[in-house]
Amino acid sequence: MANNVKPADEQIVTDSLPEVDDIELDDDLEKEFASPELEQIELVLPDSICGERLDKVLSKLVPQYSRARMQKWIEEGNVTVDGAPSKIKTTMLGGEKILIQPQVSPEDCAFSAEDIPLNIVFEDDHLIVLNKPAGLVVHPAAGNWSGTLLNGLLFHRPGQSSIPRAGIVHRLDKDTSGLMVVAKTLTAQTELVRQLQARTVSREYYALVWGQPNISGTIDAAIARHHRDRLKMAVSQSMFAKPAVTHYQRVATGNLEKFPVSLVSCKLETGRTHQIRAHMLSLGFPLVGDTLYGKQHLARFFHRQALQAWRLGLNHPATGDYQEWRIPLEADFAELLQQAAIEQPEV
């Protein structure tokens, strides 16, 4: 196989690039991205990098790979400097010849294609935007090793198997419906990951909650695994808690059999596991139908948590243009609002 020779640009941006491994991705997704390419990459370091450590230099020159992944390759001897293995913190002087042999982690491509219908809202050479139905698990994991969105993506486009996690960069809970974006190339995936870290991906949800919260507010409260129930997340001051920010606005109010409910629009800054569910519970307003966080005796009103990702906006990874997609509420959610005498919101 011929080497892929990539000339290094003398004009390197000196600011550190966002670290994929430090990103505020949805927590249940792997934060490192391996290259699907087995083709070697060869480059000669420019003089302008003099004084910088090896891993930082490579994260700038080969930005489609995370620094964490590059560090692992360096440690494993898959990166050589002037023909010899090196160390992560080795200082570069400029002029060194670098040879990188990307490695694929077996788990990154160990999934099978399944004929699962996908509701695709938009697709081009770089992205797939789809409307995930409630009941569909996004990614294989314990208890759901098949029948997932990832399996359906591999059937829809077999080329997704060459991208870690089949291009998935964020997730929705099994019983949450709505918009998701999937990358069709490694470059697009890396760019979307960086947009998530920069919090420039706009994700907005509709939730029906019990009670009547304030007209609007911001919940800036870190989230960690619940100290007693490991299936739950909770607002926490633990040293292991991760920052989480949700902006909410009450859209309308109604009643379900004389119990007050409110339709709330929630906009995420971060993507923590169960973020909206845990945040709204922390204010005393659990989601209708949420048997994990809500009131068990009221679960009869809805068969899942009343939560839908209805708006998604991002900068296209290839053109840089801002694009946005919106979808109406799912039929079951719309029927629930009708029962509560709440008019469906405009999208």
Domain harbouring 150, CATH code: 3.30.2350.10
CB 310 within 8 A of CB 179: yes
Q: Say how many domains are in the chain.
A: 3
C-alpha to C-alpha distance for 175 and 204, rounded to whole angstroms: 16
**What string of pLDDT tens digits covers the 347 residues of the chain?**
334 333 333 222 222 223 333 233 444 443 333 334 457 899 999 999 999 999 999 989 998 788 888 999 999 999 999 999 999 999 999 999 999 998 865 445 447 899 999 999 999 999 999 999 999 999 887 677 789 999 999 999 999 988 988 999 999 999 999 999 999 999 999 999 999 989 999 999 999 999 999 999 999 999 999 988 878 999 999 888 999 999 999 999 999 988 999 999 999 999 899 999 999 999 999 999 999 998 777 778 899 999 999 999 999 999 999 999 999 999 999 999 999 999 999 88
Same domain, 139 and 175: yes
Residue partners of 259: CB distance under 8 A and separation at least 6: 210, 298
- Please say which residue of 104, 139, 155 terminates a domain: 104
194 belongs to a structural domain: no
Both tokens of residue 111? 């999934």
Range of the domain at 230: 199-347
How open is the CA angle 320-29-229, to the nearest 5 degrees?
A: 135
Active-site residue identified among 173, 290, 321, 332: 173
Same domain, 29 and 94: yes
5 phi-psi bin (left φ>0, alpha ψ -120 to 50, beta other): beta
C-alpha to C-alpha distance for 203 and 196, rounded to whole angstroms: 10
Amino acid identity for residue 164 in this structure = P
Same domain, 228 and 347: yes
Same domain, 344 and 294: yes
> Of 342, 249, 271, 268, which Cα lies nearest the Cα of 311?
268
DSSP string, 142-197: TTBSSSSHHHHHHHH-GGGGGSGGGGB-----TT-EEEEEEESSHHHHHHHHHHHH
Same domain, 133 and 68: no
- Please say which residue of 104, 132, 147 terminates a domain: 104
Any catalytic annotation for residue 173?
Answer: yes
Same domain, 338 and 262: yes
As beta bridge partners, residue 307 has 207
CATH number of the domain enclosing 53: 3.10.290.10
